[in-house]
Chains A and B, each alone.
Chain A
Amino acid sequence: MKKNIVLLTSIYLISFWVQAQNSIDFKEVTLDNGLHVIMHKDNSTPIVAVSVLYHVGSKNEKPDRTGFAHFFEHLLFEGTENIGRGEYMNKIQAIGGTLNAFTSSDITYYYEIVPSNYLETALYMESERMLHPKIDQIGVDTQRDVIKEEKRQSYDNRPYGTILPETMKRAFSEHPYRWTPIGSMEDLDAARLEEFIDFHKSFYVPNNATLTIAGDIDYAQAEAWARAYFEDIPAGPDDFFRPDVKEPVKMSEIRDVIYDNVQIPAIIQAYNLPPKNHPDSYALEMLSTYLTGGNSSLMTKELVDKQQKALGVQAIPLDLEDGGVFIMYALTNMGVDPVELESEIDKLLNDVRTNGISERDFQKLQNIIENDLVSKNSSMEGLAQNLAEAHVFYGGTNYVNEELDYFRKVKREDIQRVAEKYINLDGRVVLYYLPKSAQSE
């Protein structure tokens, strides 16, 4: 691979970083009840994205009541005091909009994209579910069944579906990241209606939320409506339960085999990461791109193309507020012993740790990152989420305009440094997913 590099021209090196990101304009205000409102105006398409980010995820749950945040993601579609059961989704779709939500370990995020003349409707509806959602036994019972099927569909019945929960429960021994948002069905079965209502009161309040409005809007009108619908929602108590747990550094490797309904063995390695807003996160992101981003990346070229030991390999920095995990995920090619593939992965990881990366590879990484950042905010849906996360996780909404600067601060040596520091082969989790084989019932 190295020798080809000489053949390539160096013209592209010159233009590096010349292209500035288009600056993203926005306005923001914090209402008296603590709700933070972010607005972005773009009149090119007559649509508007409205989202509410609640700063609550599975890490805010009690160990014997896991799955609550995700449960709420479902429950808050059930209706409010003024919006009938089942009507929430119907209404948004019937005005030509689309809606969805997700729950992570850190946040719960609701959004809808509607024709811009329905902005007020969308704000009314989001305010309704913040003010007085209907949380009753019928909704709880139905959604409990739905979530069980979701778990079966997305985890139990899907080959390799349990990788994330199996990894997290080993990567974390103390921190609530040890369970994933889907949680435990036993906990959901055991929970009583009052507990759900209490959970809602503690977290789904304006002072724990960020409202984002992005698209075909008028700033003054959007703000006036946001105030009209949200300002009278009472703030909740400010003592949000945020786990203050320092995950102890692992001194020895945790290694396990999971027999699953799969045909192809998979290898998963997980390395604990610093908090997502840590300055090293940028170098770690670049490291993952160096390892598996693109066909010319180190591991794809070596393990998939050359040695053909892997069917595919991926490095995924799963960054979380209190520090997530850097996951290496590889599927073996036919007839390859996973032990053999893993030793090649380790060899390449050790190579980066010992020798770092070349100047040319570093320039390639910078080019890829620049391209990614330019494309990152191309849709109102994506931009709304990036604005909200900038505010909640990165100390200010203007982070969306500063992200490239943080990547620019990364030096070539930093890639090796973070590899040495975090990709610690002695304190990692390694899982093998192996076939149960031709089922003997």
Chain B
Amino acid sequence: MYKKILLAADGSDHSIRAASHAINLAKLNDGQIDVVYAVDGKTSKEDVLHGIDKYEVKKERETKLKPIVDLLEEKHIAYTTKFLHGEPGPAIVEYANNDNYDCVVVGSRGLNKVQTMILGSVSHKIAKRVFCPVLIVK
């Protein structure tokens, strides 16, 4: 059943919680997890400005995913990590739909009510546009 799982993560508490659920799902089915982290234009700008060079920038982003990677290592789940570039919603949707995933797991939003009203939540966009089943972890 759920063998190929896509986990959309940004290192926030929500995404770490989502990761533990993705792991449970993967364990049930002996599946693998692809972790994707979408970097939008604003984050790109800030990261490049604050990073020394692109290796440093990459390293700092990897640090953000470290809690999740540690969790995956600890539970012995096969995984890959990938950084996508663009608006998180559309970027993750495109990536998920271009490959045959059995399930997409994403944390519910970390934004407050006003931000959600204006920006819309990433998890909502994913749920609406991804073809495969989506698990939104609250």
Q: Do A and B come from one complex?
A: no
Instruction: Give the B-binding residues of A (Cβ under 8 A).
Output: none
